[in-house]
Structure 1
Amino acid sequence: MIRRATVLFLAALLPLLAGVGQAQAAGYRYWSFWDLDGDAWTYATQGPSTARPADGDVQGFRFAVSEDSADATRPRGAADFAAICAKTPAKDGEKRVALVIDFGIAADAPSGETPPDGRTACARVPSDATTAEALASVAKPLRYDSNALLCAIAGYPEKGCGEQVSGGSAPAPGKPEKSEGEDGAKSSAPTASSSSSEGDGGPSLGLVAGIAVVALLGAAAVWQVRRRG
């Protein structure tokens, strides 16, 4: 009898715990920064203001909702230096950097906004220029928040900056520190302290409700065992 009650209790508990875990998942809407390594995109290990690409490099930006760098969505579209910079001749003392700018999909756009079509651009900048300077030369206007987080490229989005869009107020696990960009601008997964999130860092209503239900189920199971014993 006790074994049967325990099995029933665990069967009811597992879906609840799964639901609580899903309720705690968080997503952040932001521009991520990428390097092209061979034929594959890799999440940049430096921010745009400290990265100094070489002539012939390809770098990308993608606007999307992601939990962290491991979950970040890669840029789409052609990423070929020869094609992107075909009409931009080399020049002494300068370098060419191919940029892929992916404005994302409608599902990730802020309310009332529509993502523009993706674009590519060949930035010809001084040989010591950073990625942020290359981006500013081909994709103005750029927008930053008070913490110098890169919020918009080519004016998109018009509002919002690294805000949390779902789940609890705790930052997603493994979220990297933000890297600095142009004029100290940062472009990486935002942390809870730099994003506009709801709540005060305490447990979410879903978590509290889940714990309460689990406690009730446990008490009911014990009561059943004692009644039939």
Structure 2
Amino acid sequence: MTARTTPAPALRRAPAAGAAPLVALLVALTASLAAALVAVAPGAQAAGYRYWSFWKWSGSAWAYQQVGPAGFVPADGAVDGWRFAVSPDGGQDAARPTATGEFAAICADTPPAASHKRVAVVLDFGTAADAPGGEQPPAPRTACAAVPAAASSADVLAAVAPPLRYDSAGVLCAIAGYPRAGCADTVAAPAAPAAGGTPADDGPSLGLVAGGALVAALAVGAAWQARRRR
């Protein structure tokens, strides 16, 4: 009687050492890259604020006023500047008044008085692009306030550009009635233009997209190789 032999079962090759960690690493890299792509996707713009910024004329340029108008007492011959625009929060990067602050020119028709000081005011209502929906910014203008010596910049502004509107926290919301509503509203800041005046691209860069495709391809290839070796 012939003995029957049972064929030996086929041996399964163990996955190559290091294949699983490599796949895990590449998958993690792909996930990280995907998160980066989402972060630079169109519409992911920094927040800006639509508000009146406060400036003082310093020699030959505008300097951001570090003290609020109610707490600052300008001297005789000072120049206060105001600009309404969508600007980042942080002061120094806010949009400045476009006109210069020449005291002698602004207050030329306001004679000095012994009991009062003169303070020039520059009002820049900004552009239509920065205006709240449905509103048109008034034309820029200047004024010369003749006020008591102890008057603050808030008093100066009230003398030349009423009505003023403040919120419950004392934030100045409107000058000369502009804007009609809203107060330091958060809006999407416009993308900064690239060199040469071309608007910056809001989407992912070509290099980042190409890198993402390469990492994804490597991850798929490594996984396929690991499955072949089993």
Residues 14 and 70 of structure 1, relative CA distance in 2, 3 Å threshold = farther
| 1:38 paired residue among 54, 59, 72 | 59
| Counterpart secondary structure, 1:91 | coil
Percent identity reads 54
- Please say if 1:224 is aligned against 2:216: no
Distance 1:161 1:95 in 2: 31
Gaps of 5+ in 2: 1-21, 190-211
Following superposition, the deviation at residue 59 of structure 1 comes to 1.2
How does the TM-score come out when normalised to structure 2? Answer: 0.69
Residues 40 and 22 of structure 1, relative CA distance in 2, 3 Å threshold = farther
Whichever residue aligns with residue 30 of structure 1, its letter is Y
Question: Over alpha carbons, which structure has the higher Rg?
Answer: 2
| Counterpart secondary structure, 2:96 | coil
Whichever residue aligns with residue 78 of structure 1, its letter is T
Distance 1:124 1:160 in 2: 30
Distance 1:150 1:44 in 2: 14
Does the 8 Å contact 2:30/2:216 carry over to 1? no
| Counterpart secondary structure, 2:80 | strand
Does the 8 Å contact 2:79/2:120 carry over to 1? yes
Distance 2:144 2:99 in 1: 15
Gaps of 5+ in 1: 168-214
Q: RMSD over aligned Cα, in angstroms?
A: 3.1
Residues 15 and 51 of structure 1, relative CA distance in 2, 3 Å threshold = same
| 1:54 paired residue among 75, 95, 114 | 75
Deviations 1:196-221 (A, max 9, x none): xxxxxxxxxxxxxxxxxxx9x97775
| 1:96 paired residue among 82, 93, 118 | 118
Whichever residue aligns with residue 222 of structure 2, its letter is V
Does the 8 Å contact 1:9/1:221 carry over to 2? no
Deviations 1:79-123 (A, max 9, x none): 100000000011012110000000000000000000000010001
Distance 1:221 1:54 in 2: 69
The correspondence of residues 1-229 of structure 1 with structure 2, limited to 5 A, is 16=37, 19=40, 23=44, 25-68=46-89, 69-166=91-188, 221-228=218-225
Whichever residue aligns with residue 147 of structure 1, its letter is A
Distance 1:131 1:26 in 2: 29
| Counterpart secondary structure, 1:132 | helix
Distance 2:137 2:107 in 1: 24
How does the TM-score come out when normalised to structure 1? Answer: 0.69
Whichever residue aligns with residue 175 of structure 2, its letter is I
Distance 1:28 1:122 in 2: 29
Distance 2:131 2:105 in 1: 29
| Counterpart secondary structure, 1:23 | coil
| Counterpart secondary structure, 2:158 | helix
Whichever residue aligns with residue 138 of structure 2, its letter is P
